[in-house]
Amino acid sequence: MGFVLIMLSIMELLVKSSSKAISRADFPDGFVFGTASSAYQFEGAVNEGNKGASIWDTFTRRPGRIMDFSNADVAVDQYHRFKTDVDLMKNIGMDAYRFSISWSRIFPEGSGELNTEGIKYYNNLIDSLLEKGIQPYVTLYHWDLPQALEDKYNGWLSRKIVKDFENFAFTCFQAFGDRVKQWITFNEPHGFSLQGYDTGLQAPGRCSILGHLFCKKGKSSIEPYIVAHNILLSHATVFHTYQLHFKEKQGGFIGIALDAKWYEPISDADEDKYAAQRAMDFGIGWFLDPLFFGKYPLSMQNLVKHRLPEITSEMSKLLVGSLDFIGLNHYTTLYAHNDQIRIRKLVLQDASSDAAVITTSSRGGIAIGETAASHWLHIVPWGIRKLARYVKDKYGNPPVFITENGMDDPNKPFMALSTALQDNKRISYHRDYLSNLSAAIRQDGCDVRGYFIWSLLDNWEWNSGYTVRFGLYYIDYKNNLTRIPKASVQWFKSFLGQNEMLSE
């Protein structure tokens, strides 16, 4: 450990000498800082505690679906190591921890018999957090649907899912709601509707593009809209269930976390401005417009037509106002321009091409920002401020939490540990995004109340497997999953632990 201590001392000096002036004092009193995770990416222990199989357990067994042919059977083993991980959060100075509950750990078959082992695990995790003064922010669904429900009625494609999700949520409120006050129903429904049912790149892997070369079942032009519709109805049903049975006694709040890119018009031409607006409509508008206005965005209605499920007047009443806050998972920004020719739509015949928008990461040969390890993640700090202003202006300045933000480095097996730990790019990323977020709050009046880093630990990153590293802590996959602090840990310790400005 002597080498690690020496490295930490060097990192501390480098952090202090390279950081621009920003501190926790640049955010309002009560602003929440935390880290985020998901059960499937962190817990492991897939065959322990009577847990049932999820669609991701099934999906990772399909050849060629995961870049490094890995799975999350062990992940970073938080199921067994949560107490030490909570200590790491406390040591940095985090206020909160956003994690998800594995549905199949509570109901191995999706419904029916309750698994007391699962209840016990999450009770212990929640109690450990509260003992350290860390508030739990709990996501009910982070993509890991019980495989039993997929087999039974095709999961999110069936309206039957609404009742089963309500039962799962009710059980969680009943078991944990005396201590959990912040609930997120769904994580990135836009992403898993498209990736799971349009491109087929993620579980359950349904699609029809390119003549079923990749998927055995699916209809890419229709199924994403059905899935999203059932998600919206499930969210609203759970919100009202909480209001009716738990709100008065528990006093908690219900939100939804959306994957939220910012789309910047590639030019000042009206067609590109309209294209950028359509990109926002088909992104966060797909879910926020029904929850605020009781209907899908007009651009979606016009372009998707009869393939877009109807929101009846009864549904509209259920949906409108059924959230206490919005979670935004924001990582990156892209340029948008109008797709005049629409060859992509002609070839793919899928939901992703319905918006008639071409997105790109460069303009005039100049990149919109530096790229992280993941090719889709362009570092564009000003995008978070524009996104916050957009939500404020369009939806009446509702309470917002940045429920995910972060960047990844490549996992290079032969890279020196000292190099991997010196994550200056991550420090700059968070510093610059936080500076823009502070400006959105202080100068633009945006009601943003918290910021969650993805993530505390390097972890299993869906299709990328273990090929990228998002963590503040380095996971030594070859040495008992040892947690080793990167330079960004020291930066956040300074940022969160002192109200004085970090030195220039």
Residue type at position 269: A
Q: What is the CA radius of gyration of the chain?
A: 22
**Rounded Cα gap, residues 424 and 183, in angstroms:** 33
Nearest-angstrom CA–CA distance, 331 and 373 = 13
* 8 A C-beta contact, residue 359 and residue 334: yes
Closest Cα to residue 20, out of 472, 433, 484, 468?
A: 433
Q: Centre a 10 Å sphere on the Cβ of residue 319 and count the other Cβ atoms it contains.
A: 24
113 noted as active-site residue: no
Alpha carbon 282 to its chain centroid, in Å, reads 17
Q: What angle do CA 74, 79, 82 make, to 5 degrees?
A: 125
Q: How far is CA 195 from the centre of its chain?
A: 14
248 is catalytic: no
Question: Of these residues, 43, 188, 223, 461, which one is catalytic?
Answer: 188
Distance CA 367, CA 380 (A): 10
Number of other residues whose CB lies within 10 A of the CB of residue 60: 22
**Three-state secondary structure string covering 315-361:** HHHHHCCCCCEEEEECCCEEEEEECCCCHHHHHHCCHHHCCCEEEEC
Dist. CA 219–CA 349, nearest whole Å? 9
Residue 184 CA to its chain's centroid (Å):
11
Set 43, 264, 404, 461: catalytic member:
404
For residue 353, the one-letter residue type is S
**DSSP letter, residue 503:** P
Active site (catalytic) residues: 188, 404
